[in-house]
Structure 1
């Protein structure tokens, strides 16, 4: 490794707003990145992680601007550099994998076109044939299969994980010297995550590419980065070798982060476990685990019974033909009242398809779903409407599931309005009660989704799901996009609500460390089939299937002991 940093940031300050009303969000950040080095920046939502790296490449949103400090790239000052000069560096010398694959791909262009566009813009190939060949190569490197076919598809035809891989491909297309990866794997399941991260690691060593990970996953930081930078409220509070910091954190905030990280050592946050009162206090997974060991969860009668469930989608082929795609086949499981059942598996394993069928958003091709003993296929539209009061979803993507034109108050009150519950005053009172329940300040009621952080949006989605006081919540990747502290708070909240209200959860996730915290029982899915089904402890301590063993082995940082002493 060279003794000269390729990126040197000194006393960087960034503010948002006008000259009259300016809000400083970074208060003098300094760090170095050396050639071939992997650095992870960790911290909660709003701590300034993404803002720091976006300032480096002059991509600050809205009214954001650098007010002081220096950013040196290979000895060249980037603060105040002209737009054209910056554009030659961005993409070619410094690559970016943005955070949200949903909003960073253009929905009206095919994936192939967007990758080719990036290759042309960075001057990596000239002729049409050469550009196409490079695009195929880029997507294969990013871990996509059947690339020729995939290039003709549009973003909405890709799963979240596939979209994320396409963005990683675009970011790496120019073989940059530095790659900024902003939450590059938060939308990916653990096995795909491992493939992508292994690939990134291989490139780093082959090309000498330095990588800056912006992540909330401490396991990933410990396993993949040599150096760790911990940020809190726009300041760097601790930095140094990753494993050393995670095993012997010194700053109180780092200790809180480490204590909140779900890991394989975690145990179920029991429906009877005593949890820290305020979400601002340190959320210590180990302490909860000990409490839970003393208590037992009370489970009632079967509430959701799924029997031999199947879903087939016809996929169009050329010449007006179509072929059947089996998204789910022969799925059978039961969720009892007051229990949490987790469906886990890779992207495309059929988890969300089952959730949609349970929520009556998709009709099953075969098999039956009984809710409260009633066969949903035989229900009248009136009964189905009634059923929706007891069965509510919390979707994966709080960006997409909240209407940008509705303020938070109206978003939460919407289900009450649709089901004609109460008058305006009682709805408003219920809305404030729900904001309190999910630990959000009441003044957020007049704000809009784009003014909230990812964690706050996800809590709004939970509050909306609880508005009608349902018996069952179907949570589709409800915490996958959250940093560990917010994730811990939302999981804490869900466990507390389950205890208070006797809720039943069908929890869909690819994050097995979270499953350990929240679930009583686990169904492991692979290619549309349930391949293993047992209590959480059994699945984690004695997995039967090779596939389950691979899923567990792929969890980032699984073998690294985190310590808070």
Structure 2
């Protein structure tokens, strides 16, 4: 049963009015309906957040509004009224004239929505020309630089010349946000617009969107799994579950007093909010609260975490890149400078900081994907620089990654089952039958249906793809997992399940985690110690409680202050 709250009736008519919207995908000559008659309005200047778990129909609903459904998807019923004009059944030219100019879109995936062979600046300028926003090369260039600066991208003039592979995930997302806002649209549809952004840049971007809404009357529809963002930024909240709207109304009212059982589950599982209220042992459904006591260090009879020999030792680690400056010139860019830390067996070390601070670069060097410019990395006392090829191959069976990008890290031509089994095949573990059984076990562990083993990445949501990436990382039962934004693309319920899974595996198998994230609330749930990084340097290093309760650096305090919804009280 839907739970709809009473709302103040706006004086202005709605900019967007959706009634009875149904969306289906053609499968084996039959239409499989995934959105079941949803109704909602968006008024000028209003910010609406649509929340729900992966597969609930959030992204499908907003893409149906502008006729950008993937594959065989189509609107099968209902009405979409835009400024009094019916969009269901509108021709291609009408829809193309709306997109960009009147309705902007920030897509969910920053990795696959930027062309790798064109510079970022060229792609922003292309959008500006296509929307008729400026004339002449100089004016288009000036507008492109301004757009990227407004989206929170530092040194936009220099970054214009670079290519997507030279940008971090957060930088790519900021570029897409700039493109979406370039035409000053009446409505901006933002599909997980800040999932790849660190909290400080997220605040810059959201403040910019809020000012645009206030000054120009631009409406914003957020699709998000971050309830903190929804509570802090949206006037109205729409909760979707299995293609239906189950609760809708004023956002803070819903989050303070959720009525529908599904909304209650979302609120209680949100780490960006609930972790501060419930402390270091939050109760996340369906797992018991005790499962988050990662190392049982508070128990007097617990086995000590710290051992004589650290699993990972990083000492004076530095990484320098050459950046092109034009006219065949280059300059040095120090991505990591003199980083030093240790991680002991059974411990979780979190690296936190803004995008571009050097977190992922350290992860790549630990994984031997990148070679350090200087410094030392030791795994169980062995200097990785001195290992032979065979020794490195053996090390990689015990040191497994879970990458930030669930789109780029999965082969689109390989089934989900084969992707998960790939590490088993490479390292010659088991036979065909035992590998298949292991794949099914891993799908169970990460809460995915076994039937997905025969599906392909383009048939899965972003959250489902990230769960596949986690399953693949666990395939070889490694000693060390390097998790680079491993839960950033997950909705709060699945995020809670994955964090609980990681905590359980750590206790059972004495695993060691290097956890890279921009979500400090997740750090409070999963990590024992924290390294805070700024501009390639570790500026603060301490236990989780010390960093959260008594930060020593102003930069660390800014990160904590920027957590969305951190001061908003929630109901249960």
TM bucket (normalised to shorter chain) is over 0.9
Alpha-carbon distance change, 155 to 285 in structure 1, aligned in 2, over 3 angstroms? farther
Pair 1:336 & 2:344 matched: yes
Q: Which stretch has the larger CA shift, 459-468 or 49-58?
A: 459-468
Q: Which stretch has the larger CA shift, 320-329 or 510-519?
A: 320-329
Pair 1:251 & 2:260 matched: yes
Equivalent in 475, 489, 503 of residue 483 of structure 2 = 475
Extract structure 1 runs of 4+ deviating beyond 6 A.
267-271, 273-276, 284-287, 289-294
CA distance in 1 between counterparts of 2:330 and 2:124 reads 28
CA distance in 1 between counterparts of 2:337 and 2:291 reads 40
Q: Deviation at 1:380? A: 1.7
Kept in 1: contact 2:412–2:457 (CA 8 A): yes
Q: Deviation at 1:294? A: 6.5
Q: Secondary structure at the match of 1:550?
A: helix
Give the match for residue 544 of structure 1. Answer: 552
| Equivalences for residues 81-480 of structure 1 within 5 A | 81-263=90-272, 266=275, 282=286, 295=299, 298-301=304-307, 302-480=310-488
Give the match for residue 4 of structure 2. Answer: none
CA distance in 2 between counterparts of 1:40 and 1:510 reads 21
Equivalent in 496, 504, 507 of residue 512 of structure 2 = 504
Q: Secondary structure at the match of 1:427?
A: helix
CA distance in 2 between counterparts of 1:293 and 1:252 reads 34
Q: Deviation at 1:265? A: 5.2
Q: Secondary structure at the match of 1:344?
A: strand
Kept in 1: contact 2:237–2:250 (CA 8 A): yes
TM-score by length of 1: 0.94
Alpha-carbon distance change, 288 to 361 in structure 1, aligned in 2, over 3 angstroms? closer
CA distance in 1 between counterparts of 2:401 and 2:283 reads 25
Kept in 2: contact 1:256–1:283 (CA 8 A): no
CA distance in 2 between counterparts of 1:235 and 1:255 reads 16
Give the match for residue 17 of structure 1. Answer: 26
CA distance in 2 between counterparts of 1:47 and 1:439 reads 15
Q: Deviation at 1:485? A: 1.0
- Runs of 5+ unmatched residues, structure 2: 1-9
CA distance in 2 between counterparts of 1:402 and 1:375 reads 30
Q: Deviation at 1:132? A: 2.3
Kept in 2: contact 1:259–1:285 (CA 8 A): no
Q: Secondary structure at the match of 2:408?
A: helix
Once the two structures are superposed, residues 105-160 of structure 1 have per-residue CA deviations (whole angstroms, 9 ceiling, x without a partner) of 11222222222221222122233333222222222221223222222222212211
CA distance in 2 between counterparts of 1:464 and 1:426 reads 15
CA distance in 2 between counterparts of 1:431 and 1:179 reads 40
Q: Deviation at 1:238? A: 0.6
Alpha-carbon distance change, 523 to 174 in structure 1, aligned in 2, over 3 angstroms? same
CA distance in 1 between counterparts of 2:162 and 2:534 reads 24
CA distance in 1 between counterparts of 2:328 and 2:142 reads 29
Alpha-carbon distance change, 426 to 223 in structure 1, aligned in 2, over 3 angstroms? same
Equivalent in 36, 51, 56 of residue 60 of structure 2 = 51
Q: Deviation at 1:462? A: 1.8
Kept in 2: contact 1:270–1:292 (CA 8 A): no
CA distance in 2 between counterparts of 1:233 and 1:168 reads 28
Kept in 1: contact 2:294–2:503 (CA 8 A): no
The count of aligned residue pairs is 559
Kept in 2: contact 1:2–1:34 (CA 8 A): no
CA distance in 2 between counterparts of 1:106 and 1:8 reads 34
Kept in 1: contact 2:228–2:565 (CA 8 A): yes
Q: Deviation at 1:284? A: 7.5
Kept in 2: contact 1:269–1:292 (CA 8 A): no
Alpha-carbon distance change, 245 to 287 in structure 1, aligned in 2, over 3 angstroms? farther
Q: Deviation at 1:384? A: 1.3
Q: Which stretch has the larger CA shift, 178-187 or 68-77?
A: 68-77
Q: Which stretch has the larger CA shift, 145-154 or 7-16?
A: 145-154
TM-score by length of 2: 0.93
Kept in 2: contact 1:521–1:534 (CA 8 A): yes
Q: Secondary structure at the match of 2:112?
A: helix
Alpha-carbon distance change, 339 to 52 in structure 1, aligned in 2, over 3 angstroms? same
Q: Deviation at 1:446? A: 1.9
Give the match for residue 491 of structure 1. Answer: 499
Kept in 2: contact 1:45–1:483 (CA 8 A): yes
Q: Deviation at 1:269? A: 11
Q: Deviation at 1:25? A: 1.0
CA distance in 1 between counterparts of 2:464 and 2:557 reads 34
Once the two structures are superposed, residues 279-304 of structure 1 have per-residue CA deviations (whole angstroms, 9 ceiling, x without a partner) of xx545779967997964674142211
Alpha-carbon distance change, 327 to 290 in structure 1, aligned in 2, over 3 angstroms? closer
CA distance in 1 between counterparts of 2:425 and 2:558 reads 46
Equivalent in 35, 45, 48 of residue 39 of structure 1 = 48
Aligned-residue RMSD, C-alpha:
2.4
CA distance in 2 between counterparts of 1:519 and 1:175 reads 41
Once the two structures are superposed, residues 78-98 of structure 1 have per-residue CA deviations (whole angstroms, 9 ceiling, x without a partner) of 111121122222211111111
Alpha-carbon distance change, 395 to 287 in structure 1, aligned in 2, over 3 angstroms? closer
Kept in 1: contact 2:239–2:263 (CA 8 A): yes
